[in-house]
A and B are shown apart, each in its own frame.
Chain A
Amino acid sequence: MSKTKIKIENLYKIFGRNSKSSIELVQNGMSKDELLEKKGHVLGLNDINMSIEESSVHVVMGLSGSGKSTLIRHINRLIDPTDGIVEVDGQDITKLDAIGLNEFRKNKTGMVFQRFGLLPHLNILDNVTFGLDIKKVDKSISHPKAMDWLNQVGLDGYERRYPQELSGGMQQRVGLARALTNDPEILLMDEAFSALDPLIKKDMQDILIDLQKKLKKTIVFITHDLDEALKLGDKIAILKDGFMDQEGTAIDILLDPKTDYVKRFVEDVNRSRVLKAKNIMESHDKIPQDLLNGQKMTLEDDLVLDKFLNKVITEKPSLIEVQSNGNAVGYITADRLSFILQK
C-alpha cells in the first residue's frame, strides 16, 4: 500500500463568533439545527477523519451545504479549523505561522476553482505563471513551463488572449494549467468541472484522467455529482451536513451503501456506465486454477463495463483478464460480472 499523504483527524469547523465554545456541545451530539438555534453558530464540519493516499484521486462528494468546500479549504488552510489536525506529509499544517503557511502553499498545493478564479486583467500566459510569479521565479524559467502546460491542456496559441475571451471549458483548462505549472504535490479541485456544460465536463474529466496517469499527483476532488465521483475517484467520501456519511471505493459505495442518504444517491446510477474493469476485478494472485484452461479474454483496466459487456456476451470467455500497461493486474469472472450488474 502506498503512503498516506494527507491525514485529517477529528476535524471540526464551527462558523460564528467565539465558536470554540461550541466544540463540546457538538462533541456531545448537539445537532446542526439545534446549534444554530441555541448559539447562532453554523456547524460546518463535524468530526471528520480521513486519510488520503499519495498519488490517489480522493473525491469528496455531497450536496450543497454538506461542508465539502469547507473541507477542501482546510487542506491549504484557506479556512482555519475550529479544532482538529490536518497533516500533510506528517506535518500538522494547522500549526504553521503565516510565513510557513505561504511556503507550504507555494510548494505543496495547487488549487482549481469552480468559477476558475482567473485574473481578468492578465493574459492567459501571465495567469498560468501566476503561482511562479508569487514565488518570484524568473520569466525565463516560468514562461517555458507555462507554455508547456498550456500545450498539455490543449491551449497552445491562446497565451496572449484574456480570460474573458475564452469559453468556460477553456478557462478551466487555464485554471488547471495554472495549478500544475507550480508543480504541486497535491492538487485541490473544488467543484472544478461543475460550472461546465455536460460535454465539456466530460472532456475535462478525460483530460484529468489522462494527466493523472502521467503525473500521479495526490488529488482531492470536490463534486456534487456522483457519476463524476465514480468516474474519477479511487476513493470516495460522502459528506452530509458536515458529517462523513460513508467512505470507500466506487464499488463499496455502489454495492454497499451504508446510509439512506447514500442509498438514495446510488439508486439511479447506471453501474455498467460508471464502473470500470479495475473497480470490479479480483486480485490476480487468487485466480482459480481451473478457469485458466478455458477461453480467455483480455482488456484494459480503465475500460467501462458498458464497453466490453457485448463482447463478453458473444465470446462467453471463462475468464476475463484485466491488464494495465500490458501487465495482468486482476481478473473478472462471469459470475462476478452478473453479480455486480444484478445486485
Chain B
Amino acid sequence: MIDLLTEFPELPRTVLRDIKKTVDLGFKEFSRAYGESIEGFFYPLLKLLVFIEDVLIATPWPIIIGIVAGLGYWATRSYKLVMGVIVALFVVGLFGMWEDTMETSGIIIVSTLVSILIGIPLGIAMSKSNTAQSIVTPILDFMQTLPPFVYLVPVVMLLGIGKVPGLIAVVVYAVPPVVRLTNLGIREVDKEIIEAAESFGATPRQKLYKVQIPLAMPTIFAGINQTIMMALAMVIIASMIGVKGLGLEVLRSITNQYLALGLLNGAAIVVIAIIFDRISQAYGKRIQEHRKGGHH
C-alpha cells in the first residue's frame, strides 16, 4: 500500500519495451518502404535549395551587399539602416563567414517560402471553417511546444541526414505563426466591410482576394516575420542533422569549446536575423500605411 504511494505505478518494464519496440519497428518499416518515394517527393525542394545557395555563393559579394542594402532602403527608407547593413555584412565577410552566412540565408529563404506556401492556404482554410480551426489549432500548439530535438528523430529516420531533412525540420518548427496569423488576420476583418462586399454580390472568391486577404495582409506579414525568426532559431538546431552554414560552426564550437568561433558565428546569425527582421517588418508596415491615415 505504501509502495503504491511512493512509487508511481508504472507499466511493467516488458510492456514499455514492447510498446517502444513496436513503434520503432513500425516506423522503421514505414521509412524503409516509403523513404525513397518521400525523398523523391522532396527532390525538387532540394534542387531549389541547392540552386539558391549556389546563386548566393556564386554572386560576387559586393553585388549581394548592394542588393540587401537596396532592399533595406526600399523597405525602410532609412539611410541609417542601410549603412548598418553594409557595415555588418562587410564585417561578417571580413571574419571569414561569408560563405556560411550565404548558406544559412539560403535555407532561411527556402524554408520561409515553403512555410508561406503551406501556411497561408492552411490559415485561409482555418478562417473559413470553424471545424478546420478546431482541428488545426491543437496540432499547431503541439508543434510549437514539442521540443525541436524530438521531431528531428523521425525526420532523420525517414530521410537520413542532409539538407532536405534539415529544411523539413525548420519548416515544421517555423510554419505555425504564419498559419495562425493568416487565420487571425482574416477573421479579424471588420464585419461591416465583409457585409459591404457581400451586398455588392461578391462571390466567396472575390471576397477573399479583393477584401479579406488585402485587409489581413499586415497581420499575415507579422506572421511571416515571426516565421522567419523561428526559422533562424531552428536552423542552428538543424545543423545537428546536416544543415551546413553558421549553425554547424556554432555546433563545432560547442563540441570543441571554441569560444571565439561560437561568438563570431552567433553574431553573424544575429546580423542576418536583424536584416531579415527589419526588412520584413518595415515592408509589413508599409502595406499598412493607408489604413493609418496621414497624408501622402
List residues 241-270 of chain A with CB under 8 A from any CB of chain B: none
Q: How far is the CA of A312 from the CA of B195 in the complex (A)?
A: 49
Q: How far is the CA of A115 from the CA of B294 in the complex (A)?
A: 20
Binds A, one of B30-38, B73-81, B170-178, B203-211: B203-211
Q: How far is the CA of A133 from the CA of B200 in the complex (A)?
A: 10
Q: Are A117 and B193 in contact (CB under 8 A)?
A: yes
List residues 98-134 of chain B with CB under 8 A from any CB of chain A: none
Q: Are A103 and B201 in contact (CB under 8 A)?
A: yes
CB distance from A164 to the nearest CB of B (A): 4
B198 in contact (CB, < 8 A)? yes
Which of B190, B201, B210 has a CB less than 8 Å from the CB of A106? B201
List, in ascending order, chain A residues with CB within 8 A of B291's CB: 120-121, 164
List, in ascending order, chain B residues with CB within 8 A of A119's CB: 193, 196, 210-211, 214-215
Q: Is the interface of B mostly helix, strand, loop or mixed?
A: helix
List, in ascending order, chain A residues with CB within 8 A of B195's CB: 73, 78, 111, 113, 117
List residues 304-326 of chain A with CB under 8 A from any CB of chain B: none
Q: How far is the CA of A21 from the CA of B38 in the complex (A)?
A: 52
List residues 87-117 of chain A with CB under 8 A from any CB of chain B: 101-107, 109-111, 113-117
Q: Are B200 and A106 in contact (CB under 8 A)?
A: yes
How many residues of A sit at the interface, in one of the four size bands?
20 to 34
Which of A109, A111, A121 has a CB less than 8 Å from the CB of B196? A111
CB distance from A161 to the nearest CB of B (A): 9
Which of A107, A110, A120, A162 has a CB less than 8 Å from the CB of B199? A110
List, in ascending order, chain B residues with CB within 8 A of A76's CB: 199
Which of A114, A118, A134 has a CB less than 8 Å from the CB of B200? A134
B64 in contact (CB, < 8 A)? no
Q: Is the interface of A mostly helix, strand, loop or mixed?
A: mixed
A142 in contact (CB, < 8 A)? no
List residues 250-296 of chain B with CB under 8 A from any CB of chain A: 287, 290-295
Q: How far is the CA of A130 from the CA of B196 in the complex (A)?
A: 10
Known contacts being A117-B192, A121-B214, is A165 close to B295, with CB within 8 Å?
A: yes
List, in ascending order, chain B residues with CB within 8 A of A164's CB: 290-294
A135 in contact (CB, < 8 A)? yes
Which of A116, A118, A134, A188 has a CB less than 8 Å from the CB of B201? A134
Q: Are B290 and A182 in contact (CB under 8 A)?
A: no
Q: Are B201 and A105 in contact (CB under 8 A)?
A: yes
CB distance from B202 to the nearest CB of A (A): 5
Q: Are B199 and A188 in contact (CB under 8 A)?
A: yes
A81 in contact (CB, < 8 A)? no
Q: Are A121 and B199 in contact (CB under 8 A)?
A: no
Which of B199, B203, B214 has a CB less than 8 Å from the CB of A78? B199
Q: Flag B50-73 by CB within 8 Å of A: 1 or 0 each.
A: 000000000000000000000000
A131 in contact (CB, < 8 A)? yes
Q: How far is the CA of A106 from the CA of B287 in the complex (A)?
A: 30
List, in ascending order, chain A residues with CB within 8 A of B199's CB: 76, 78, 105, 109-111, 188
CB distance from B237 to the nearest CB of A (A): 38
Q: Are A121 and B201 in contact (CB under 8 A)?
A: no
Q: Flag A45-89 by CB within 8 Å of B: 1 or 0 each.
A: 000000000000000000000000000010010100000000000
Please give 13 more A-B residue pairs, beta carbons under 8 A apart, in addition to A119-B214, A120-B290: A76-B199, A78-B195, A107-B201, A110-B200, A111-B199, A116-B192, A119-B211, A119-B215, A121-B215, A121-B287, A121-B291, A162-B293, A165-B293
Q: Give residues in A with beta carbon < 8 Å to B.
A: 73, 76, 78, 101-107, 109-111, 113-121, 130-131, 133-135, 162-165, 182, 188
Q: List 5 A-B contacts (CB under 8 A).
A: A121-B215, A134-B201, A135-B201, A162-B290, A163-B290
